[in-house]
Amino acid sequence: VEPEVDGRIEILYEDEALVIVSKPAGLPVHPGGRFHRNTLTYLLGQAYRHEKLRLAHRLDAETSGVVVLTRKQAYAAPVQKQFHQCQVSKLYLALVQGHPSWTQCQCDEPISTSKQERGMRTIDPTGSASQTEFEVLQLLDGPTALVAAKPTTGRTNQIRI
């Protein structure tokens, strides 16, 4: 029995080349571990039975956000290449615990290439280069803060680390 997930996927845009969706947090992008049918690709495969949608990129299961898929193989390679070469600009909003001492900063720390405890990555001097720009948008009660995170690389768990 697979764990329950929020399967409410919103179609944001589609044309002859692309399907762009909003993925809820907690929904894995593709099958793995205990998840086989409760995944974005499986659920979209049911909705688009006569097509083979191809992921242009991935989001961590815990992350909500926009996911781009292509409708044909001819579109997949160029769109995937744009993501791989960091030609796509991404912006994430995060609620963080505490009030940062800075209003803007850049994090430039290498991230491990293998999973650590509980499947997370960690900062590792021998890891892959990782860069993220952060900006505090609003200080909230709690104390928490609303922070914009703009990754210039695409590493697993990059923003959470």
Q: What local confidence, expressed as pLDDT, does residue 48 receive?
A: 95
Q: What local confidence, expressed as pLDDT, does residue 121 receive?
A: 86
Report pLDDT digits (tens) over 21-71.
999 999 999 888 888 889 999 999 999 999 999 999 988 888 899 999 999
What pTM, to 2 d.p., does this model score? 0.81
Active site residues per annotation: 60
b (16+ CB within 10 A) / e for 30-65? eeeeebeebbbbebbeeeeeeeebbbbbbbbbebee
Instruction: Supply φ then ψ for residue 78, to 5 degrees.
Output: -65, -35
User: Long-range pairs for 41-45 at CB < 8 Å and ≥24 separation?
Assistant: 43/7, 43/9, 44/9, 44/19, 44/69
Contacts of 137 (CB under 8 A, 6+ apart): 93, 145, 146, 147, 148
Report pLDDT digits (tens) over 115-150.
777 667 889 999 999 999 999 999 999 899 999 999
What is the distance between the alpha carbons of residues 55 and 94, in angstroms, rounded to a whole number? 24
Residue in the structure block whose two tokens are 């990782």: 130
